[in-house]
Chains A and B, each alone.
Chain A
Amino acid sequence: MTWTDEELVARSISGDADSFNELILRWERPIYALAYRQIGREEDARDVCQETFLRAYRALGGFRGQAKFSSWLYRIALNLCRDWVRRERRTPVVQAPDDVDLLDLAATREPSESIEELVARKDLSRSVERAMKRLPDEQRTAIILKEYHGLTFQEIADLVGCPLSTVKTRLYQGLTVLRRELARDGAAAR
């Protein structure tokens, strides 16, 4: 039987540790991906991910179900990412090695992909990372939550605490900047 997030939360509160493990299994990758795209460091993103679940577990009793569990989790993760950037006093860093190691790349190659295609895909991925790094925090967060996590405008507005129209504006502005940056970076947005 598949439990909903909220049912698993209720079972966790009543002492069922397996239920919280199930929640971790369900959400660790999205939370990690969110953290990585926000702060750009794999190791720190993993730390943020772990800390997110730790805080969620400690605060589980305070979760009243007024929002979706995932939204609650995203909010914790976003706050942690914000703290991380503030604490480190640096802009999000995207690790993009200058040299392309074909052997390393080949390990991630998809079966039907040639080396040239693989390099092009990696180049494009790094271009996107660099362009995203140049966005203001609010625009980047809005794009990440919409593009990679599929949240509705309203959910994003609730999550970051701003009006609905502001979310749309941030998205539009962010996408426009990305379009320009990607075109400048050689990966012209088509």
Chain B
Amino acid sequence: MKDTTDIRCTYSGDRDEVLVAYLYDDIEPASRASFDAHLAACRRCQDELAALRGVRSQLGKWAPPEPMFATSHQPPAASHWWNAIPAWAQVAAALLFLGVAAGIANLDVRYNNEGLTVRTGWSKSAAASGVAQDTSAAKTTSPASPVSAVSELAPWRADLAALEQQLRREFRASVVPGTARPLNASIGVSDADLLRRVRTMIDESERRQQSELALRVAGALRDVNVQRNADLVRINQTLGLFQQDMGVAVLQNKRKVDYLVERVSQIK
């Protein structure tokens, strides 16, 4: 580009200040209009403005290295992907998750004479189902402690029952006539509350399932140890009997040999 610094600029005010204010568009409208008029006729200002815009463009390439903050946080909740999913779908997913997790939580590990057996809630025997049905019947006849009766056998059922009741209450509350809240606000608040509760329940359910799994693993280990000890005792007994039998056989053989030796000596 040809150097235009020797071209005379006729701007009457403080040219440098106005030029930089114009460059950053941080200028009073009157000054802008005045400089616009000047700019149309001043080659030197045109060139310098273009050059400084080029410098600004270069400056835009300078980015600091990405920081690794110790205080790095999760993005705000509003940007979570699950916010794009309708509340009913989230509730359905939560129910599905609870169901699958419940099946896993009913893991049944046994070690006995038949060997190691692993079963989940889905493969429980009909008898177990019968017990559950009986319990459900008991639930309907004794409303005083419905959840606790169920939770003794399958804690996750209590969560499902509570969730169902919660959903029913929410649903009833949302269709109560005469509620004057705006629709959007009503939906927003109840959805947020509902989701928070569902997440809380899922968390609690997970914790309970982990405890239950730990208990079951501990129980399985205890069973294994008991069975192992029993096997050892049995092996010892068998080995003892075997040794005893061996001893008797050896003694009998010795007697036979002695008898034969005695007979042979008599014949001689």
Contact = CB atoms under 8 A, between A and B. Distances in A.
A172 B17 contact: yes
A29 B73 CA distance: 12
B256 to A, nearest CB: 87
B84 to A, nearest CB: 19
A189 B26 contact: no
Nearest to A132: B62
Interface in A137-175: 143, 146-148, 152-153, 165, 168-169, 171-173, 175
A182 B20 CA distance: 18
Interface in B90-113: none
Interface string A19-54: 001001100110011001100001001100110000
B17 A189 contact: no
Interface stretch (A4-12, A75-83, A84-92, A123-131): A123-131
B67 A190 contact: no
A66 to B, nearest CB: 22
A121 interface: yes
B51 A179 contact: yes
A178 B20 CA distance: 14
Range class of the B interface residue count: 20 to 34
B58 A175 contact: no
B69 interface: yes
Interface string B40-76: 0000000000011011111111111101111101001
Q: How large is the interface on A (under 10, 10 to 19, 20 to 34, 35 or more residues)?
A: 35 or more
Contacts of A182: 55, 58
B71 A28 contact: yes
Given A128-B61, A189-B51, A32 B20 contact: no
Interface of A is mostly: helix
Contacts, number: 92
A187 interface: yes
B6 interface: no
A165 B64 contact: no
Nearest to B60: A147
Nearest to B67: A32
Nearest to A35: B64
A165 B54 contact: no
B16 interface: yes
Contacts of A179: 51-52, 54-55
A146 B24 CA distance: 8
B67 A125 contact: no
Interface of A: 21, 24-25, 28-29, 32-33, 36-37, 42, 45-46, 49-50, 121, 124-125, 127-129, 132, 143, 146-148, 152-153, 165, 168-169, 171-173, 175-176, 178-179, 182, 187, 189-190
Question: Which 8 A/B pairs are nearest by Cβ-Cβ distance?
Answer: A36-B64, A190-B54, A168-B17, A128-B62, A189-B54, A172-B16, A172-B20, A189-B55
20 contacts: A21-B73, A28-B69, A28-B71, A33-B64, A37-B62, A42-B65, A46-B69, A124-B58, A128-B58, A153-B26, A168-B20, A169-B16, A169-B17, A171-B24, A172-B16, A172-B17, A175-B20, A178-B55, A178-B59, A182-B58
